[in-house]
Amino acid sequence: MKDIRRKTLAAASALTLGIGLAVTGGLAPAAAAGTEATFLVLAPQGGKTDKAAARVATARGTVVARYDQIGVLVVRSANPDFATAVAGAGVESVASTTGLGSALDEGETVEVSAADVANVTADPTKEPLFGQQWDMPMIGVPQAHAINAGSPDVVVGVLDSGISSSHPDLASQIAKDKSTSCVGGVADTTESAWNPTTSDHGTHVAGTIAAAVNGVGVTGIAPGVKVAAVKVVNDDGYIFPEAAICGFVWAAEHGMQVTNNSYYIDPWEFNCRNDARQRPVWQAVQRAIRYSASKGVLNVASAGNSNVDLQHKTVDTGSPNNGTPETREINSACLDLPAEAPGVLTVSAVGPTGEKSYYSSYGQGVVEVTAPGGDSRFRTGGVSPTTTDQILSTTFNTATRTNGWGYKQGTSMSGPHATGVAALALSAHPGMNPGQLAAFLQSTAVAKPCPQGVYNPAPLHPDGPHAYDATCSGGARNGFYGAGMVNAYNVVK
């Protein structure tokens, strides 16, 4: 039986690695009397929310966001009995989101010093730091740019911690008119609201997708496209379900064709649709994802950093992560959100060798494609990290409030590689719907075979000699790599 557990990916040294994927906080009850709490109130699928809104008012709640497109209300109430009082005709389900925040577990960015940036000797007619971007040649970016570097008509939504609008590699790339903060489940389009506050995760992701070719810093996969900041991470570093829902609907309503999602939405690593505590969150998020797809959005998600076989999960012993973990049996009804939601393109990670990153989760029938996410441990068998084997991109130092460049690793870094390739595909072949685009990315991927036997890239890792064992299943399409490595050149030629 596969034991599902979270693994610590930080180095056993002074260097902390950036592992760019959100993990979840625990479930908490509704607020006590006098303390305002947030609720998701779901009307019957396909019905109007008028009756639900009326019941909210009767139950002493206030509707702060109304998503009639998907029959979901975001409500605040200080009534400790709100969940019971609001039930009735017009309300299908209700859930308090107190305690449902997902903590962005990104570690520290390993920054490139200003002196190192100034002293690079790369061809000055290209991007100065391109020589350190091993990930770009791996997926055919230089060849792709000779044909198509992206169209400004393509807008990618970065559902994350915000994007620095003052970064020299990103300032010209941001669709400010389509950017917003969804923190609290309510859209706020002021520029300060969607800029980063306590995390540079979104800025790093955005650079991988679309950093400008301007003689400064790095290049993105699709520098000709635009990115929109859709901030879903609050100042405490948490993503709540109402923020993700707002983000998916916002992307749908504002002409985005692709979104990048590198987080969990649930307090547990796996959302069980047959669990009464979790089902309303699943329903609301799935409605939002389906709606965005109906409006032409392909949602791309990271597979996760737990080295878990997502096809064969039976026991979860590592959730929730903000309290005492519980052991619970799980089954096929329990899914990683949004990575395992229907219609989402799920991406695993590889390192500089092109083999599965030691931390990357996987699963036959779950992972559609793979992409560079970095692997700082393969050179030493897990003993110590090599910074330059991570992914170099744009950064924002939230302490000094300065822009820069630096390294992170994780499936949060592989996801935006696939997203950037998707943006190039749409630039070269406009008009594809989400299903066609997902299929195109897979058909143009470069197939990678399973390694033989038990894959053990980090036997000397401090977590233990078998902590990162994994077994790949399948043939040309398999659990480690799906249809294979995304390829920028193949989608534009």
| Residues acting as catalytic residues | 160, 201, 412
Peptide bond into 451 cis (omega under 30): no
DSSP string, 286-314: HHHHHHHHHTTPEEEEE--SS--BTTS--
DSSP string, 356-419: BPTT--B-TTT--EEEE---TTGGGTTSS--GGGSEEEEEEETTTTEEEEEEEBSHHHHHHHHH
Amino acid at 406: G
From the list 263, 398, 406, 287, the residue with the least C-alpha distance to 342 is 287
From the list 386, 370, 394, 359, the residue with the least C-alpha distance to 446 is 370
From the list 2, 7, 1, the residue with the least C-alpha distance to 318 is 7
Distance between CA atoms of residues 230 and 259, nearest Å: 9
**Count of other CB atoms within 10 angstroms of residue 84:** 11
Distance between CA atoms of residues 262 and 397, nearest Å: 20
- DSSP-derived 3-state class of residue 464: coil
Helices (H) and strands (E) in the chain, counts: 12, 24
From the list 314, 265, 317, 303, the residue with the least C-alpha distance to 287 is 265
Give the Å distances, CA to CA, from 411 to 27, 106, 158, 312.
25, 11, 15, 19
From the list 51, 66, 56, the residue with the least C-alpha distance to 94 is 56
- DSSP-derived 3-state class of residue 263: coil
Contacts of 428 (CB under 8 A, 6+ apart): 147, 148, 491, 492
Give the Å distances, CA to CA, from 38 to 70, 198, 277, 307, 354.
18, 23, 15, 33, 44
Joined tokens for residue 388? 């330059």
Query: Facing residues of 346 across strands?
Result: 301
What is the DSSP code (8-state) at residue 277?
T
Distance between CA atoms of residues 38 and 78, nearest Å: 9
Cα angle vertex 72, ends 67, 78, to 5°? 110
H/E element, 197:
none
